[in-house]
Amino acid sequence: MISDPLQVDDFNKKLKSWYLKNHRPLLWRQTTDPYKIWLSEIILQQTRVAQGTPYYEKFLENYPTVFDLANADERDVLRLWQGLGYYSRARNMHYTARQIVSEFEGRFPETALTLSKLKGLGNYTAAAIASFAFGEAVAAIDGNVYRVMSRIFGIKADMLSNEGKKEFAQVAKTLISHEDPATYNQAMIEFGALQCVPVSPNCSICPFNDICYAYAFNVQNELPVKAKKLKVKNRFLNYFIIQQGDKLAMQERNTKDIWKGLYDFLLIESAAHVDSPEELADNAMLLVLMKKGTIRQVPKLYIHLLTHQKLHVQFWWLTIPESEPVDLPSNIYFFSKNEVETLPKPILIDTVLKEEKYL
């Protein structure tokens, strides 16, 4: 394990040299504004750079300061976020913007410790903001950095265990540059993203191949160790798109389930796949609605993957004449086509409406 100050200095010089030659000119690297850095970090959680960049630009265009974001309506924030997934990130981001304005007068805290107490900011995001914006010498450890440290220094501890996290944190604390912590953190993250990639890294051109444990013992595919695996739950969702004229019946999801704060249709969840709505006949309201109009199945079964869930989703389109009275649950309302378009929706719902030529 690296510990000698001269070895650390040599490691940092090689890392910085590589970074200056190879880094990508990403927009959020061209600023020390904590708001812009925070925005980029939240958007890039669970999101690739290519996908996240347009959202970063859209959010800055609509909400150029933390005050603008704090004053925004949550529905508008979720609508702008549509397509990124993990919508709790958007809700937490909006909440935190309001917290920064109300408790800190719009100024971001300058230390990782204080930042980590804000909603939606874990240790990595807090450290990233503190080092990039304020120059605090604190290591930002994301998945890329775990991989780099594990392979180069032969760390075999499970990166998801408490013991493993402590070991990685100690190594990172030893390595962090106190002269330029922002560049060090950016370089470690970028090195993992571009050079020390998860699969088939090109070790022959790596500046650390003379000291790399994984390269020496050919165990690149075995490090880092990540023992815990999420169990994926299968869910079967049956949606009924109820239309009268140009209006659709939609509901806001307000439980602790997926897509909270977004709008979808009348939903009946089943234990397994069903071939027809009649198999859901225990729902008396649905039977009454089906007798009032004509129903057709959207000719496609959608598979939607979330981190810990696999959604099997099918849709039926129920058209009811405008002359027929419709008795819906109290949380479902009819919205015009223009209103439907502006409501924040899961990307799956938006996709179906576009494929069905409604939007």
- For residues 327-349, average pLDDT: 94
Contact 171, 162 (CB under 8 A): no
Angstrom distance (rounded) from CA 299 to CA 20: 52
**Topology alike, domains 5-217 and 233-355:** no
Q: Please state which of the four CATH numbers 3.10.310.30, 1.10.340.30, 3.40.50.720, 1.10.580.10 is assigned to the domain occupying 5-217.
A: 1.10.340.30
Could you tell me the fold of the domain covering 233-355?
A: Nucleoside Triphosphate Pyrophosphohydrolase (3.90.79)
Q: Is the pLDDT of residue 282 over 90?
A: no
Element housing 266 (H / E): strand 266-270
Q: What is the pLDDT of residue 322?
A: 93
Q: What is the pLDDT of residue 1?
A: 61
pLDDT digit string, tens, across residues 18-51: 999 999 999 999 999 999 999 999 999 888 999 9
283 by Cβ neighbours in 10 Å (0-12 / 13-18 / 19+) ranks as: middle
- For residues 257-261, average pLDDT: 92
- For residues 213-227, average pLDDT: 94
Where are the chain's structural domains? 5-217, 233-355
pLDDT level of residue 149 (50, 70, 90 thresholds): very high
- For residues 90-109, average pLDDT: 96
Which of 86, 89, 162 is CA-nearest to residue 120? 89
Cα 38 to the center of its chain, rounded Å: 14
Contact 320, 289 (CB under 8 A): yes
Active site residues: 41
Angstrom distance (rounded) from CA 37 to CA 27: 10
Angstrom distance (rounded) from CA 183 to CA 90: 28
User: Quick one: what percent of the chain has pLDDT higher than 90?
Assistant: 83
Please give the model's pTM, rounded to 2 decimal places.
0.84
pLDDT level of residue 218 (50, 70, 90 thresholds): very high
pLDDT digit string, tens, across residues 150-203: 999 999 999 989 999 999 999 999 999 999 999 999 999 999 999 999 999 999
Q: How far apart are the first and last CA of the chain?
A: 58
Angstrom distance (rounded) from CA 104 to CA 47: 29
pLDDT level of residue 2 (50, 70, 90 thresholds): low
- Helix/strand/coil for 263: strand
Q: Is the pLDDT of residue 3 over 70?
A: no
Q: What is the pLDDT of residue 306?
A: 87
Q: What is the pLDDT of residue 346?
A: 94
Distances (CA, A) of 113 to 97, 119, 125, 183, 301: 18, 13, 11, 20, 46
